[in-house]
Amino acid sequence: MPESLQLVACGELTRSDSRVLHSEGTQQYFLLLCAVRSIFRINGRQYYMQPFTFLMHPFENGCIRAEPHGMTACRYMQLRISDSYLQYLVSSGLTLKETHTIARPLVVEEIWKLLTEPAEDAVPVRQEMEHYALGLLFCLLREASDGTVTRAALVPHYDKLTALRRRIYLHPEDNWFIQDICEELDISRPYFHKIYMEAFGISCTQDVIASRITCAKRLLETTEDPIAVISQKCGFETDVYFMRQFKRHAGITPTAYRRIFRHSAQQDEIQKQEEII
């Protein structure tokens, strides 16, 4: 594993700033992990990332230029992957320059913490932990990259679940009661939880919250609505619960998110004006 898969760099993308990465040598790839719906241009190609999805992109001419559209909450890794290991990943269904659903996002979250926490152990121990974490991460990525056709064949009611998920993200403000959904699909609650997790690697409740956070970010960026109004428009029962969930997912409060977005937008506008002049 150490020779096949190595972590070169990693970080977070939480603003609309572009990020340019350069590779030293060959066999380097850019891995993007998105927790919320985001729009990215990577080396000129636009990607629409749904919540809890990822994509892997090769460095082209030694460079990756990642340009998020608006505020986002994504993480990236710059990796060195051997040709033999890449061939193994591709044979497992992990295609380059295409989005895949993240399997078991909560486990991926713990792996990320392990990779980014301050180094307190001796170097050999740290390297061993890093190699183990990367191997586990790619086991999960391979598990998720079996393709929609395969999941549709294996997961019961896959078409209905996909339609349900689309409705959730189109109308996050609606009351998405699990019992009502189960009655609509004519299945039991335990069975619904099981097949939803199999289909998307996330629970329906987590998906509803993620859709509402995405909606809240859009309203914070585009309106002057007070936090209480945004909370209600997005379907949250109370302002306190909304702010707690927003900080948990975005890492900052709604007020701070709006302030940072406006500052970023102002800086972008100033830069554009300077380029014109």
251 and 203 within one domain: yes
Q: Of 213, 220, 196, 201, whose CA–CA distance to 248 is shortest?
A: 213
User: Does residue 177 share a domain with residue 203?
Assistant: yes
> Are residue 107 and residue 232 in the same domain, yes or no?
no
Is 226 a domain residue? yes
Q: Predicted confidence band at 100 (pLDDT cuts at 50, 70, 90)? A: confident
Residue 175 is assigned to a structural domain of this protein: yes
Contact in structure between 245 and 236 (CB atoms under 8 Å): yes
* Domain interval for residue 88: 5-146
Tens digit of pLDDT for each residue in 102-121? 767 777 888 888 888 765 55
- For residue range 172-204, what is the model confidence (pLDDT) as tens digits? 999 999 999 999 999 999 999 998 888 777 889
Based on the domain organization, do 196 and 94 belong to the same domain?
no
Domain final residue pick, 146, 165, 186: 146
CATH number at residue 238: 1.10.10.60
